[in-house]
Amino acid sequence: MPQASRDIQRRIKSVKNTKKITKAMELVSAAKMRKAVSRVLATRSYSDLVWDTVLHLVKKLDTDKHLFFQEPKEVKKVAVIIISTNRGLCGSFNATLVNKVTESIKLHHPDVIDTDVITCGTKGRDEIRRRKINLIADFHKEDITASSEDIRPISHMITKDFVAKKYDKIFVAYTDFMSSLKQVPHVKQLLPIVPEIDERLGHINHEKDQVDKISVDNFAEFVFEPGMENVLDAFLPRLVEVQIYQAVLESEASEHSARMFAMRNATDAAGDMIDELTLAYNQARQASITGEIAEIAAGSAALE
C-alpha cells in the first residue's frame, strides 16, 4: 500500500477517536445543562419576588436616605463581578463576556478612572489577566452551584466595600440564559439599587411555568419591627446575595448549553472530515490499483 494511503488511514483513525471524545463531552454537557436549567428555572420565581418586594417598598417608603439607594454625584471608581467558566471548549463564551464588560463601562461611564474586577471562574480570571485589567479577587466556582452559601463571600465583600464607599457603583457581568440555543452576555448594576429600572435576571418568559404568580401588590402594608432602617439593613444585603446567586445559575445554564452545542458542532465536523478522508483514501487506493494493472499489462505486452 502506498505511503499516502497509509497516512490517510492514520488520519481517519485519529479523527474517529476525536469524534468519540467530542460525542462523550456533548452527552456530559447535555446532562449538566438539564440539571442547571432546572435549578435556574426553580429559583427565578424567588428572585423575581424579592425584586418585586423592593419595588413595592420604594413606592411606600422614603428609601433615599438609605446608602444602598443613593446614586453617587460622580462615578470615579467601579467594581465588576465577572461570572465565567472553569473550563473551555464552549466557543467564545468568556471572551464575549469580557468584551461586553469593557464596552459597557466605556459606553455608560466613560469618566471612570479605575475599574476593579472580581472573578468567579478560572477562564474569566485568565482573560482579565491577559488583558491586564486590575484583578483584585478571584473566587472558586463549581460546575453546578449547590446553594447561595457558595457565593456569600462575594456578596459580603462587595457590600462591605460599598458601605465603606470604596466604590461608587458595583456591577455583575454574567451570561443570561434565554434558551438552550441563545445565551446573551449582560451587565447588571447591583449597587446602588435602581428600582426605576425593572431589570430582572433571566429574561425568558417563564410565567407559564408558574401555577400561581405571586404579586406583592396584593399584600397588606408592611409593618417593620424593630424599625425600617434595621429591616432594610438586613434585607438589602440579602437582595444583593440573591441577585449574585441567580446570575451564577444563569451563567451555569448558559455555559453548559454553549458547550453542548460546541461539542455537537465538533462531532458533526469530525463526521464530515471522516467522509472527505474516506473519499480521498478510496481515490488513492483506486489510483494505486489502476497503476498496478497498467504495469502488469505493460509487462505482459513487452514479453509478447
Picking from 112, 157, 155, the residue whose alpha carbon sits closest to that of residue 133 is: 112
Which band of pLDDT confidence, cut at 50, 70 and 90, is reported for residue 221?
Answer: low
Whether residue 7 is contained in a domain is answered as no
When the pLDDT of each residue in the chain is averaged and rounded to a whole number, the result is: 82
Whether residue 21 is contained in a domain is answered as no
Which band of pLDDT confidence, cut at 50, 70 and 90, is reported for residue 198?
Answer: low
pLDDT, tens only, 57-85: 776 666 677 788 888 888 888 999 999 99
Any residues with CB less than 8 A from the CB of 49 and at least 6 apart, and which? 214, 216
How many domains in the chain?
1
Whether residue 170 is contained in a domain is answered as yes
Given a cut of 70, is residue 270 above it in pLDDT?
Answer: yes
Any residues with CB less than 8 A from the CB of 48 and at least 6 apart, and which? 200
Whether residue 149 is contained in a domain is answered as yes
pLDDT, tens only, 155-188: 999 999 998 989 989 999 999 898 888 888 989 8
CB 178 within 8 A of CB 203: yes
Choice among 90, 105, 247, 253 that is catalytic:
90
pTM, rounded to two decimals: 0.81
Residue at grid coordinates 488583558: 131
pLDDT at 92: 85
Amino acid, single-letter form, for residue 173: A
pLDDT, average across residues 261-278 = 92
pLDDT, tens only, 247-261: 999 999 999 999 999
The CATH number linked to 190 is 3.40.1380.10
Whether residue 10 is contained in a domain is answered as no
Whether residue 88 is contained in a domain is answered as yes
> Where are the strands (E) in the chain, listed by range?
77-83, 114-120, 135-139, 169-179, 182-191
The range of the structural domain enclosing residue 209 comes to 28-259
Whether residue 291 is contained in a domain is answered as no
Give the DSSP H/E element, type plus range, for residue 40: helix 3-60
φ, ψ of residue 167 in degrees (nearest 5): -125, 145
pLDDT at 255: 92
Neighbours of 3 (CB within 10 A): 7
Given a cut of 90, is residue 229 above it in pLDDT?
Answer: no
> Does 120 qualify as catalytic in the annotation?
no
Whether residue 294 is contained in a domain is answered as no
